[in-house]
Chains A and B, each alone.
Chain A
Amino acid sequence: GQSLEQPSEVTAVEGAIVQINCTYQTSGFYGLSWYQQHDGGAPTFLSYNGLDGLEETGRFSSFLSRSDSYGYLLLQELQMKDSASYFCAINQAGTALIFGKGTTLSVSS
C-alpha cells in the first residue's frame, strides 16, 4: 500500500520562511505533488517534483529526495493569504494521485 506523513499543523508569522515535510512509502513512484486548499475552497496545484532536487516557483519551492522517500514544500516571505492546508500527494504508475492528510498553516501578523 501507500502512505504519506506530514505534520498536521504549522504556525508562522508574516515574512517568515516555513518548511512542510512529507515522507512517503509506495511502489511505482513517479513523483511528488503539492496542493494548496483554502478553507471552503478547492485544492489547487502548486508544484511537482519528478526528479531529485529543488523546483522553484516564485515564493514557493519544493524538494524531493527519492533515496530518502522525502520531500518538502518551502514557503518564503509568508503572507496572511498563505494560511491554508497544504497536501503532498504521490504520483504513481497506473493509478490516481494519493493525498496525505494535509498540514494546516496558520500565518499571523
Chain B
Amino acid sequence: DTGVSQNPRHKITKRGQNVTFRCDPISEHNRLYWYRQTLGQGPEFLTYFQNEAQLEKSRLLSDRFSAERPKGSFSTLEIQRTEQGDSAMYLCASSLSEGGTNEKLFFGSGTQLSVL
C-alpha cells in the first residue's frame, strides 16, 4: 500500500492557461474522488469515478473542469482557461467500495494551484 499519489504538489499558472493534475489511487481501490479545498473550509466535492465510469459531477463544477480515468486506474483533472478563483488545494481520494455504507476515503497530499 503506497497510498494515494498526486502530481504535481504545487502548480503556479497565469490566468487563462490550462492545467492538468494527476492522481494515482491505491491500486486495488475501485473508486476515485476529486475534491477542492480552500483555506479554512472543508473539502468540496467535484466528481467521482467507479472504475472508469464517471458517476457524479458536482452541479457547482464549471464546464472548464474535466476529469478522466481512462483505464480505471490513474485519473487526471484538467482545468481550462484558469481563473483566480480556481486557486485552491485539489485533493484526490480513493476507496474500496463493496456496496456497504461505511466508505472510508484515503486522501492524497493534494496539488496546490495558484492562479496569478
Contact = CB atoms under 8 A, between A and B. Distances in A.
Interface of A: 30-31, 33, 35, 41-45, 48, 50, 87, 89, 91, 95-102
Interface of B: 4, 33, 35, 40-45, 48, 56, 91, 93, 101-110
Nearest to B110: A42
| Interface of chain A, main secondary structure | strand
A42 B105 CA distance: 11
| Interface of chain B, main secondary structure | loop
Contacts, number: 53
Nearest to A6: B42
Contact of B91 (A30, A33, A42, A48): A42
Nearest to B92: A42
A45 B105 contact: yes
A101 B42 contact: yes
B106 A102 contact: no
Given A98-B45, A101-B40, A42 B103 contact: no
